[in-house]
Amino acid sequence: MHESSLSLALAKVVAVAAWADGKVTPEERDCLMDLLYQLPGLDRKSWRKIQKLLDQPISPSWRTRYVNALVTLVETDRAKRFALYALERMVEADGVIADGERELISEFVHKVGAFPLDALTLLSEVLEQPMARRERAANKTERDLASVDTIIAGRVDDWIEGEFGLEDRTKSELRRLCLAGILLARVIHADDVIDERELAMAIDFLINQWKLEREQAEFIMIVSLSDSISEIDSLRVSRWLFEETTLLERRRFLQLLFEIAICDGQLADAEVDEIMHICANLRLDHLSFQHSFEYARDRVGEAI
């Protein structure tokens, strides 16, 4: 059993359930993508396939094909255990999962082989509460500010029209900078103190890794450290950054987060929690987390 294959098969059947009423709104699509993003074992190639699942309705023939493929993959006890784990991770995207949701997931996994139509109805029920939680998390940003996408698009347009020479950068580059800046700001804010050494390290990273002029890097970090921007839904920001970066870039970014947290001579619990959260949301494993900490500790040279 390949975990990526089973997670992809689960994602396809989740998409089938989402299209059951014939429509998926843009807001629903974003929330579903956030949930599907939690499925374990997915690489960039699999994720690109998942992104296309919600672009248009799924035909009856493909619905049958997707369900049959999942049935074939969950025949063994080991596969069923993984499917349970994967769906629970998906449902727990916002840190909450009720006992009733666990029971529905278990019932779905054990029923999908014998009663696929009943299982799809169960899966629709499984999605109800986590979708509602995701919508509330996204709408909190919209109530306080604007939609996440609107905020980032507006920030990119402001940077292009500004006086810092960023107009030569593509919108894709600036969007990536904006996303990275938001996550950097979350770590810098984590201990409720903005240390000049932390800010300087972030600025140097933008200069050396993303080839910005110092004035440009300073401008981006100052903007990113605004309280309102740092409160944007980090799950969605992390998903978007994952979609626009390579594995090597994400690992280097994780190292930077630790360097920033460590450079003041102490690593606060709040900083560790924030980095751990970002690490998981960037689809980096515990080994990457540990290696990044050790690399940053040795590089910065502070005793923790």
pLDDT digits (tens, 9 = 90+) for 201-211: 999 999 998 88
Provide the 10 A C-beta neighbour count for residue 18: 24
Q: Which of 16-30, 103-117, 290-304 has the lowest mean pLDDT?
A: 290-304
Question: Three-state secondary structure along 176-231?
Answer: HHHHHHHHHHHHHHCCCCCCHHHHHHHHHHHHHHCCCCHHHHHHHHHHHCCHHHHC
Q: Which residue has the tokens 């984590």?
A: 190
The token pair at 87 is 């769906």
Q: Are 168 and 213 in contact (CB under 8 A)?
A: no
- HSE on the CB side for 92, CA within 13 Å? 17
Per DSSP, 246 falls in state: -
Provide the 10 A C-beta neighbour count for residue 267: 19
pLDDT digits (tens, 9 = 90+) for 136-155: 887 765 445 556 667 777 77
| pLDDT of amino acid 89 | 94
| pLDDT of amino acid 141 | 56
